[in-house]
């Protein structure tokens, strides 16, 4: 599917890629008035500009007055959003929403260049056609369309992930820190990736930069509102993450979905996040012990880390865009491996369509089946990736 070296994609593959990119551009410029999430980030920036605390009850009171559809949830996003929220809040809501969507589209396209730069560094040259196809596949994912339509943040996190991979392969600690800072805007993903680097001494300077930069991003909020007034309400709101319908286990993917479906146990989001940290840190320690720390093996390592995070962290079907880099990174194992991964990836990419086949009932039931379809695809990806890695070791 994504061709390595001198192989060339068929015209059909190239057409799919161009179709996907065209679809992405159309989504960016055509969607109007469908924002479900971006309004909360924009509103927080407005409150910060006025010296008000988005982690207080004022956030919900003002939000209900400004928007007809306001879910009443606490502001879950961490205070390191301060600079980004304030910049976006400098524009009126409609203009800011359009800027956000354009930024998301640019992030998808630029992420491909970052991954290509990482693969070049380890000696794998991908054709322009293969890169167009990959970008088109990411653009055609329902996750991408949902994120752009609802104003979610995961495309930005996807860009941060690609920047992290590029920077790590090219030994660029400051860029790596910037990538991790972007990922920490969504902590349940970013924190797991942060801990994945801890076992490796050569990344410690980048991790230090990450801590410093993240603190600097938080600092304006801590100064203007107050450290305790910011941190304590944020943590309190975060602890209630699972108590809202959209974040309940039946509407989540991966481990939370499996535990709920089999045992009816609702794994709290905080516990799922901690388990993802344990998983990525444990994988790092195991990889460190193996003593195979070359660039090619690190690509395999990051593929494993991505899968651990996607499966264990408290995520939703629209967060699965973070899986997409596996299709390109798997070029280190050849074309056959990429084709094998592409099969469950297609299911993952259209999980909404597949999930909706199993219900004609209400939206909550439909969301449950979409989560199940996503989880099944994730499990299949894990099994296939594990088989690919094992076979490569045996050869």
The predicted-structure confidence for 114-166, as pLDDT tens digits, reads as follows 999 999 999 998 888 888 888 888 888 888 888 887 778 999 999 999 999 99
Q: How many domains, the chain?
A: 1
| Longest distance between any two alpha carbons in the chain, whole Å | 64
Distance CA 8, CA 21 (A): 19
Residue 1 maps to a domain: no
Residue 90 maps to a domain: yes
Contact 362, 245 (CB under 8 A): no
Which residues, in sequence order, are CB contacts of 347 under 8 Å at separation 6+? Answer: 354, 373, 376, 377, 380
Local confidence band at 9 (pLDDT 50, 70, 90 cut-offs): very low
Three-class SS state of 334? coil
The stretch 213-235 carries a mean pLDDT of: 91
The DSSP-derived string for 53-111 is -TTSHHHHHHHHHH-SS-------S-GGGHHHHHHHHTS-HHHHHHHHHHHHHHHHHHH
Three-class SS state of 358? coil
The pLDDT, as a whole number, for residue 91 is 94
Contact 157, 183 (CB under 8 A): yes
Instruction: Give 62-103 pLDDT, tens digit per residue.
Output: 888 888 777 767 788 899 999 999 999 999 998 998 899 889
Which residues, in sequence order, are CB contacts of 212 under 8 Å at separation 6+? Answer: none
Residue 323 maps to a domain: yes
Find the domain containing 242 and state its range. Answer: 11-394
Please tell me the pTM assigned to this model: 0.92
Residue 208 maps to a domain: yes
Q: CA nearest 286: which of 275, 272, 297, 271?
A: 297
> What phi and psi, each to the nearest 5 degrees, are found at residue 85?
-65, -40
Residue 4 maps to a domain: no
| Percent of the residues in the chain that have a pLDDT greater than 70, as a whole number | 91
Integer-rounded Cα radius of gyration of the chain: 20
The pLDDT, as a whole number, for residue 361 is 60
Local confidence band at 195 (pLDDT 50, 70, 90 cut-offs): very high
b/e map of 274-306 (b: 16 or more CB within 10 Å)? ebbbebbbebbeebeeeeeeeeeebbbbbbbbb
The stretch 1-6 carries a mean pLDDT of: 43
Instruction: Give 280-307 pLDDT, tens digit per residue.
Output: 999 999 998 887 777 778 899 999 999 9
Q: Which residues pair with 126 in a beta bridge?
A: 4
Residue 2 maps to a domain: no
The DSSP code for 127 is P
Q: Which residues pair with 4 in a beta bridge?
A: 126
The pLDDT, as a whole number, for residue 233 is 84
Residue 6 maps to a domain: no
Q: How many residues does the chain have?
A: 395
Strand locations in 179-333, DSSP E?
none
The dihedral over CA atoms of 360, 365, 370, 373, expressed in degrees to the nearest 10, equals: -90
Give, in order, the Cα–Cα distances in Å from 26 to each of 19, 132, 143, 320, 351: 10, 17, 15, 21, 21
């Amino acid at each position: 599917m994504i061709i390595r070296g001198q192989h060339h994609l068929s015209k059909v593959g190239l057409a799919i890629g161009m179709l996907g990119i065209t679809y992405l551009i159309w989504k960016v410029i055509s969607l109007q008035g469908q924002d479900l999430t971006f309004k909360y980030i924009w509103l927080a920036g407005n409150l910060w500009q006025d010296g008000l605390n988005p982690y207080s009850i004022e956030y919900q009171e003002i939000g209900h007055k400004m928007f007809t559809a306001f879910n009443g949830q606490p502001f879950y996003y961490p205070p390191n959003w301060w600079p980004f929220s304030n910049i976006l809040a400098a524009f009126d809501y409609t203009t800011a929403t359009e800027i956000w969507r354009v930024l998301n589209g640019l992030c998808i396209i630029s992420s491909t260049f970052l991954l290509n730069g990482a693969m070049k560094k380890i000696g794998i040259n991908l054709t322009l056609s293969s890169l167009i196809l990959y970008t088109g596949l990411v653009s055609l994912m329902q996750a991408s369309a949902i994120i752009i339509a609802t104003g979610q943040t995961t495309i930005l996190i996807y860009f941060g992930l690609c920047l992290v991979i590029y920077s790590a392969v090219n030994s660029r600690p400051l860029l790596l820190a910037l990538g991790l800072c972007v990922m920490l805007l969504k902590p349940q993903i970013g924190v797991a990736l942060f801990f994945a680097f801890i076992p490796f001494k050569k990344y410690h300077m980048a991790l230090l930069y990450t801590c410093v930069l993240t603190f600097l991003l938080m600092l304006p909020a801590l100064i203007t509102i107050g450290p305790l007034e910011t941190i304590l309400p944020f943590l309190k709101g975060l602890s209630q993450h699972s108590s809202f319908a959209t974040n309940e286990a039946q509407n989540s993917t991966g481990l939370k979905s499996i535990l709920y479906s089999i045992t009816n146990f609702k794994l709290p989001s905080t516990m799922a996040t901690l388990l993802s940290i344990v998983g990525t840190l444990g994988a790092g320690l195991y990889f460190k012990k193996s003593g195979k720390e070359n660039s090619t093996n690190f690509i395999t390592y990051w593929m494993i880390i991505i899968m651990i995070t996607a499966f264990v962290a408290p995520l939703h079907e629209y967060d699965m865009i973070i899986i997409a880099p596996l299709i390109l990174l798997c070029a280190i194992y050849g074309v056959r491996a990429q084709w094998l991964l592409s099969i469950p990836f297609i299911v993952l990419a259209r999980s909404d369509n597949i999930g909706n086949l199993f219900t004609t009932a209400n939206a909550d039931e439909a969301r449950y089946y979409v989560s199940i379809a996503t989880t099944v695809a994730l499990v299949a990806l894990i099994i296939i990736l594990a088989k690919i890695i094992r076979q490569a070791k045996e050869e």
